[in-house]
Structure 1
Amino acid sequence: MNLTNGAELVNNLSTANTFLKRLKGLMFSNSLPAGHGLLIQPCQSIHTFFMKYSIDVLYISKDLEVVGLDETLMPAKVGKLQKRAYSVLELPAGTIRQTETKIGNYITIK
């Protein structure tokens, strides 16, 4: 949930917090349905190689502040390196715009 504006970002969250889960991420998956997301930690940058669809990406600091974002990151691209990020939240494309999430917003993860 975006604490700054009260918007729900995800209602079905998966976590990639081991080397193998971080390595696989969303690669080779067919889609990321609305309301679903993948939290990768620790992580400061991602790629969309071997993906078939675009995603939105939030880069999140240890204190859960959004420190960077990529909207509609297309397949076979590399996201920005965010040195302040501790984790990355991958979301369906369009989620950032729909929830009006901005850099500087704070989120909560339950």
Structure 2
Amino acid sequence: MSTYCFDHQLLINERDSGYRVGMARRFHQRAAGLLFGRPLRAGEALWIGQCGSIHTVGMRYAIDVVFLDRNDHVVRVAGNVPPWRFRIARHSASVLEMPAGQARAAGLHAGDRVQIMPACPSSS
């Protein structure tokens, strides 16, 4: 089972979106994606590096998929991708997976610049 630590923040066009991001960097994490873990909660996203296509084979819920180029610009937003589907985007180098409907709610569009930064520790 893949679990991710959502310890990064998602900036969209240099503004904090309020989303926390888990990072799938290792081969087994990228291969598994969300397949064996719990569904993402509102306010969470999963970044998958070295990824130009995704599938939802075996998943039981829809997701939004944001394809990013090597400069972290959005090249395609595939919203509400149902289970048992494939999606690909030309020139994409990584992918951001979000709960269905959240890419639109976050205002993500082709051409937007996305940055994923370590979250600052809270000052309690």
Q: TM-score, normalised by structure 1?
A: 0.89
RMSD: 1.5
Are 2:48 and 1:50 aligned? Answer: no
- Report if the CA contact (8 A) 2:48-2:96 is conserved: yes
Give 2:12's aligned residue: 2
Q: Which has the higher strand share?
A: 2
Q: 2:53 aligns to what SS in structure 1?
A: coil
Query: CA–CA distance in 1 between the matches of 2:50 and 2:59?
Result: 21
**Which of 22, 42, 46 is matched with 1:14 structurally?**
22
- Residue pairs, 1:1-110, within 5 angstroms: 1-3=11-13, 6=15, 8=17, 10-11=19-20, 13-79=21-87, 81-110=88-117
* Aligned length in residues: 107
Q: 1:8 aligns to what SS in structure 2?
A: strand
Q: 1:27 aligns to what SS in structure 2?
A: coil
Gaps of 5+ in 2: 1-10, 118-124
User: For 1:8-52, what per-residue CA distance to the aligned partner results, in whole angstroms no more than 9, with x for missing partners?
Assistant: 1622x1111121111111003342101111110100000001111
The letter for the 2-side match of 1:33 is R
Q: TM-score, normalised by structure 2?
A: 0.79
| Displacement of 1:70 | 0.5
The letter for the 2-side match of 1:104 is G
Considering only CA atoms, is the larger Rg found in Structure 1 or Structure 2? 2
